[in-house]
Every structure is written in C-alpha cells, then in structure tokens.
C-alpha cells in the first residue's frame, strides 16, 4: 500500500471515531470532559494527516511528471516523456455497491457521514458521488443505476438461469410485452386455376411485469467495520450480495408459481405434455430413453436447440456421473466436461430433493434458455439493520445482533418467462441418487 493510501486509511479511522463521538450528542446525550478532550485531539490529528496527505500527493505528482523511462535514460535522453499513460485496473462488477454498503454501515446509516468517509478514505469518485446523491425509497436507500447495472452483471455467474443464457431486458415503466408466433402459415401446392387458400399466422404475447424480490444478506461486522479501501474485503462483500440475490432469483425463476406477486418459473410455464414423470426402473437403457424423451419434446415443437441446457439438483448429476454401462465404462463421460447428452448442465440446490409422497423426489429441466427472458427494473434498494433477525437454511431464527452481523436487505424488481412455452420440458419424480 502506498504512503498516501496508508495515511488516507488512518484518517478514515480517525473520522469514524469522530463520527461515533458526534453521534452521542446527536442521540441526546452529552460528552464527558474526557470525550471532549478526545474529540479535540482527534480533530488535530485529522488536520495534521490532511496536511501530510496533501504534501505527499504533491510529491507523487512531481515524481510522476519527471519520471524518465529506463531505456531512454540509457540512450542519454533525459527530458520528461511527452505523456504518461496510466492504465487503471477495471473495478470488478458489484464492488462499488459493496463499498457503498460498507460505508453506510460504518456511518450508522448516516448518508452524509458515509459520503465524507468515502471522500477522506481514498474511495473512488463514483462511490463518493453515489453517497452524496442517493435518495431514500420505500424499500430503503435507492442504489444509483450504474451501480445496479454492475450488480446485475455480477449475478450472471451466481444465478444458474442467467448463466445458462437467459436474456436480460429492461422493463419500461415496469412492463414489457413481447409478441410470439403461436402458429405458422401453411404452404399448399396448387393445381391449374385453383385459388390460393388464405392462412394467417397466429400471434400471442409474453407479458412481463415488475415483481418485487427481496434478498437478506447477513455479513460479518468484522468485514464491514474495516476502514479504508481493501479489494479483498470489498470483493467478499460483493460476492455475498451476489450469491444471496442469485439464489433468490433461481428459486423463483425455476419453480415460482406465478400467483399474486410472485414470478412464474419454468416449472409452471411448461406445457402439460412437456412434463414427464420418471419411469419405473433405473437401468441405463431406461434412463437414456427418458432423457432423450425430454429432448424430443422440444425437437418435435421445432425449438432451436442451440441455446438448450439442463438444470438439476447436485445429487441427480452425481448419480448420472456414477452410472456405468455393461462393460464398467462411464455411461456419460462428458459429464466431467460439464455436458450431458451434448448440452451443458448447471446444478442448483434451488431444485428440491424432498418432493413427492416419499419426500425423496426431485426434478430435471431441459430448456432453450436463449428463449427465456428476464425483464428487469434497473433500480435496487438497500436497507441495513444490526438488530433484525432472519431464518437460516435450516429454518432457525438467527439474531443478527447476537451473531455480531449486519443484515443487508436488497430489493430488486423483475419478472421471468419463456417466449414460447414449448421451449421447456421437465422430468418429475426423479429419485436417482436418493440413497447416496
């Protein structure tokens, strides 16, 4: 870390202490004599550091301006170069929002204090500007659109539906209507002096409307309390946000019932004829015919298979991976390369393995993801609490306060649907691997 960044980090820590003392008076209490003395001492230290930082920055600028490339110096060329090109490393998607969240937590939700900490702590100008201009919304503080777009981009490797190729489109005023062809014109051959029969193409609409989704993200206060810019910490916070939002999306995009305010997932978009129960028996011949049948349903509907892929629970693919033919060879060796019967697959625990009367059934999906659309409102809202509770994966209530965590709530608006319902086939009653 450079001397300037180190001093900025130290100054940010001192500013945080000043904010904590100021908050005592803001809450209606009075500072003790010792606290007043501490406040004055901190103010002096901050002013001294600010002066040192200004001098160090001036020195760095002068050094950069007079720098001479080694090759030129060796040739006797001692004049400064005509120009210096500095290539900044691109900020990973979602990191800027993670920094914004971290500063808001450190400032106790005080937007103005967070903006000042961003200014004095060496954060990017975009983070400073965002904290200076964000406005409160019904679901919390509204995230600037450029940050929201970055977060949505970071979801692609986290959400299996996005990773498999679902197309993201903006919702205009919360709605999006896409026409789709339901039936094609029919071409007939004619005899002499016969009339051409009139046929019409049949159209329908895929209508997407914004539906509110909320993800709760518990993050350790040890991470959030770190003062200053740290790429590893910001990347960790960003990853936690993206993973939680991605799991929330997959839960609804795959199996959402589409009732009330919920999106309609693949499970309920599929036509009845494209939903096939698992056959009795689990020999290689039976399994292979069954998987082929799921693919055949799309082929028979003239679906473009170029964008197709599989979704399934982890136990399903592990069972298929262990399946052997009569010679002891792997039945599907391509699974090791991320493919099944020539098409990519993705695993997600958002496809249950406790369905059916016996509580041991799962599902397997084959779909044309290039025909699936995610309509997105580009606005995100975040809210922060250190006292709220949440339920973990086991359904147990957890107190963020007791765990020394901060609970981040992220609210987004989107909807999901395939342009053609024929583009989805589903295998149900899958018990493969239930005993593993």
Band the pLDDT of 227: cuts 50, 70, 90. low
Average pLDDT of the segment spanning 141-168: 82
Cα–Cα distance measured from residue 302 to residue 83, given in angstroms and rounded to the nearest whole number: 59
pLDDT computed for residue 241 by the predictor: 81
435: closest CA among 316, 352, 324?
Answer: 316
Band the pLDDT of 13: cuts 50, 70, 90. confident
Asked if residue 265 and residue 120 are part of one domain, the reply reads: no
Cα–Cα distance measured from residue 279 to residue 421, given in angstroms and rounded to the nearest whole number: 24
Asked if residue 117 and residue 28 are part of one domain, the reply reads: no
pLDDT computed for residue 409 by the predictor: 86
Is the pLDDT confidence value at 329 over 80? yes
Total structural domains within the chain:
3
The answer to whether residues 68 and 78 touch, using CB atoms and an 8 Å cutoff, is yes
Between residues 104 and 420, which one has the greater pLDDT? 420
Whether 83 is in a domain gets the answer no
Asked if residue 39 and residue 111 are part of one domain, the reply reads: no
Helical ranges in 27-171 per DSSP H: 33-65, 70-74, 95-106, 111-120, 125-133, 145-154, 160-163
Band the pLDDT of 204: cuts 50, 70, 90. low
Asked if residue 219 and residue 107 are part of one domain, the reply reads: no
Question: Rounded to a whole number, what is the largest CA-CA distance in the chain?
Answer: 108
Asked if residue 144 and residue 129 are part of one domain, the reply reads: no
CATH number at residue 187: 3.30.2400.10
219: closest CA among 409, 410, 405, 392?
Answer: 405
Is the pLDDT confidence value at 217 over 70? yes
Ramachandran angles phi, psi of 60, nearest 5°: -65, -40
Between residues 207 and 165, which one has the greater pLDDT? 165
Is the pLDDT confidence value at 133 over 70? yes
Cα–Cα distance measured from residue 43 to residue 14, given in angstroms and rounded to the nearest whole number: 8
Band the pLDDT of 49: cuts 50, 70, 90. confident
Asked if residue 239 and residue 386 are part of one domain, the reply reads: yes
Is the pLDDT confidence value at 25 over 70? yes
Look at the pTM and tell me if it is higher than 0.75.
Answer: no
Cα–Cα distance measured from residue 124 to residue 144, given in angstroms and rounded to the nearest whole number: 15
| Of the listed ranges 212-226, 239-253, 335-349, the one predicted with least confidence | 212-226
pLDDT computed for residue 122 by the predictor: 81
Checking phi first, is residue 173 left (phi over 0); if not, alpha (psi -120 to 50) or beta?
left
Whether 346 is in a domain gets the answer yes
Question: Can you read off the two tokens belonging to residue 17?
Answer: 């202490």
Whether 86 is in a domain gets the answer no
Average pLDDT of the segment spanning 317-329: 95
Q: Is 374 helix (H, G, I), strand (E, B) or coil?
A: strand
pLDDT computed for residue 340 by the predictor: 97
Asked if residue 107 and residue 22 are part of one domain, the reply reads: no
pLDDT computed for residue 152 by the predictor: 74
Whether 89 is in a domain gets the answer no
133: closest CA among 105, 100, 108?
Answer: 100
Is the pLDDT confidence value at 185 over 80? no
Whether 72 is in a domain gets the answer no
330: closest CA among 316, 318, 342?
Answer: 318
Cα–Cα distance measured from residue 5 to residue 102, given in angstroms and rounded to the nearest whole number: 18
Task: Indicate if the alpha-carbon torsion angle 314, 320, 321, 322 is positive or negative.
Answer: positive
Q: Is 432 helix (H, G, I), strand (E, B) or coil?
A: coil
Mean pLDDT of the chain: 82
Q: Is 407 helix (H, G, I), strand (E, B) or coil?
A: strand
Q: Is 193 helix (H, G, I), strand (E, B) or coil?
A: coil
Whether 274 is in a domain gets the answer yes
Q: What is the DSSP letter of 370?
A: G
Asked if residue 276 and residue 127 are part of one domain, the reply reads: no
Asked if residue 149 and residue 124 are part of one domain, the reply reads: no
Give the range of the structural domain holding residue 100, as residue numbers without chain letter: 96-134
* Strand 372-385 with 405-418, pairing: antiparallel
Distances (CA, A) of 387 to 110, 286, 308, 401, 407: 17, 54, 45, 5, 8
Asked if residue 122 and residue 157 are part of one domain, the reply reads: no
Give the DSSP H/E element, type plus range, for residue 368: strand 362-368
pLDDT computed for residue 187 by the predictor: 58
Asked if residue 189 and residue 116 are part of one domain, the reply reads: no
Between residues 195 and 23, which one has the greater pLDDT? 23
Considering 13, 48, 65, which residue would you say is the last residue of a domain? 65
Is the pLDDT confidence value at 135 over 70? no
Is the pLDDT confidence value at 82 over 70? no
Q: Is 349 helix (H, G, I), strand (E, B) or coil?
A: coil
State the CB neighbour count (10 A cutoff) for residue 380: 26
């Amino acid at each position: 870390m450079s001397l300037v960044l180190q001093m900025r980090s130290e100054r940010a820590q001192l500013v945080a202490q000043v904010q904590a003392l100021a908050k005592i008076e803001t809450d209606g209490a009075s500072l003790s004599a010792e606290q007043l003395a501490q406040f004055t001492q901190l103010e002096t230290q901050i002013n001294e550091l600010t002066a040192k930082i200004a001098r160090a920055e001036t020195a760095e600028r002068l050094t950069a301006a007079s720098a001479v490339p080694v090759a030129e110096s060796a040739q006797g060329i001692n004049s400064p170069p005509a120009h210096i090109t500095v290539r900044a490393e691109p900020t990973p998607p979602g990191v800027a929002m993670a920094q914004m969240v971290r500063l808001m937590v450190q400032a106790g939700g005080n937007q103005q204090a967070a903006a000042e900490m961003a200014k004095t702590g060496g954060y990017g100008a975009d983070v400073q500007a965002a904290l200076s201009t964000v406005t409160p919304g019904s679901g919390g503080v509204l995230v600037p659109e450029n940050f929201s777009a970055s977060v949505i981009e970071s979801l692609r490797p986290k959400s299996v539906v996005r990773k498999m190729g679902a197309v993201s489109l903006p919702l205009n005023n919360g709605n999006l209507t896409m026409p789709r062809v339901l039936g094609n014109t029919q071409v007939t051959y004619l005899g002499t002096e016969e009339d051409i029969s009139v046929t019409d193409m049949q159209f329908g609409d895929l209508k997407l409307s914004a539906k509110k989704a909320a993800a709760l993200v518990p993050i350790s206060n040890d991470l959030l309390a770190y003062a200053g810019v740290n790429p590893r910490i910001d990347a960790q916070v960003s990853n936690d946000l993206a993973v939680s939002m991605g799991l929330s999306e997959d839960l609804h995009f795959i199996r959402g019932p589409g009732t009330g305010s919920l999106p309609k997932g693949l499970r309920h978009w599929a036509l009845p004829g494209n939903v096939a129960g698992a056959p009795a028996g689990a020999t290689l011949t039976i399994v292979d015919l069954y998987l082929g049948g799921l693919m055949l349903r799309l082929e028979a509907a003239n679906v473009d298979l170029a964008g197709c892929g599989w979704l399934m629970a982890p136990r399903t693919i592990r069972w298929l991976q262990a399946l052997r033919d009569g010679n002891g060879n792997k039945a599907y060796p391509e699974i090791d390369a991320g493919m099944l019967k020539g098409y990519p697959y993705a695993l997600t625990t958002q496809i249950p393995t406790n369905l059916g009367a016996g509580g041991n059934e799962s599902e397997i999906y084959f779909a044309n993801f290039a025909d699936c659309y995610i309509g997105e409102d580009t606005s995100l809202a975040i809210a922060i609490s250190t006292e709220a509770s949440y339920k973990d994966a086991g359904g147990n209530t957890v107190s963020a306060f007791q765990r020394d965590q901060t609970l981040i709530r992220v609210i987004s608006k989107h909807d999901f649907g395939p342009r053609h319902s024929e583009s989805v086939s589903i295998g149900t009653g899958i018990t493969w691997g239930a005993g593993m």
